[in-house]
């Protein structure tokens, strides 16, 4: 099957075929998910940090390992530690910049060839507390240039201290 044919397949079918949609999207400059450059907040050799394209709340983010691991238990400790450190900083930034009350962290990675990732899901003051925030309806992503730039500035300052 050609690359052009692959990018037209449903994501679940790609995963069932053992093809990583995230890697295929990178290889095809957005052929699977589209251009995600406005979503990306930070990237280095280990992780990719971006807003979720179909978020459960404004400010919903994902931190993705660039190496294929099914979940946290398979990833090296150094990577897990880095992801948790960055997650903490993103949680602080999301609360400050988006004005939410809490940020929940979860991980769920399905599929044979996938990237372990965590999600940071904001909960706002007018929303009920609890686990239902992990499954609240998805909304349309709305690009906010000012908040995106603030998030990038915050995490880039942190990453300079980290290195």
- Concatenating the DSSP letter of every residue in 37-65 gives TTTEEEE-SSEEEEE-SS-SSTT-EEEEE
Whole-number Å distance between alpha carbons of 93 and 58? 13
pLDDT digits (tens, 9 = 90+) for 122-163: 999 988 898 888 888 989 999 999 999 999 999 999 999 876
pTM assigned to the model: 0.86
pLDDT at 96: 97
Helix, strand, coil percentages for the chain (3-state, nearest 5): 35, 20, 45
pLDDT at 81: 97
Which regions of the chain carry the CATH code 3.30.428.10?
A: 39-162
- Which CATH number does 39-162 carry? 3.30.428.10
The pLDDT confidence band at residue 23, using thresholds 50, 70 and 90, is confident
pLDDT at 163: 65
pLDDT digits (tens, 9 = 90+) for 46-69: 999 999 988 999 999 999 999 888
């Amino acid at each position: 099957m050609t690359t052009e044919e692959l990018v037209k397949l449903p994501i679940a079918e790609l995963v069932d075929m053992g093809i990583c949609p995230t890697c295929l999207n990178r290889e095809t400059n957005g052929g699977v998910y589209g251009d995600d450059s406005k979503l990306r907040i930070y990237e280095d050799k280990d992780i990719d940090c971006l807003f979720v394209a179909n978020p459960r709340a404004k400010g919903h983010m994902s931190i993705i390992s660039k190496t294929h691991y099914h979940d946290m238990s398979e990833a090296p400790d150094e990577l897990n530690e880095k992801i948790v450190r960055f997650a903490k900083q993103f949680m602080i930034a999301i609360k400050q910049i988006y004005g939410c009350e809490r940020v929940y962290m979860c991980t769920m990675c399905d599929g044979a060839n996938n990237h372990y990732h965590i999600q940071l899901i904001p909960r706002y003051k007018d929303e009920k507390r609890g686990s239902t925030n992990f499954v609240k309806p998805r909304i349309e992503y709305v690009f906010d240039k000012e908040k995106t730039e603030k998030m990038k500035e915050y995490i880039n300052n942190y990453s300079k201290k980290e290195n």
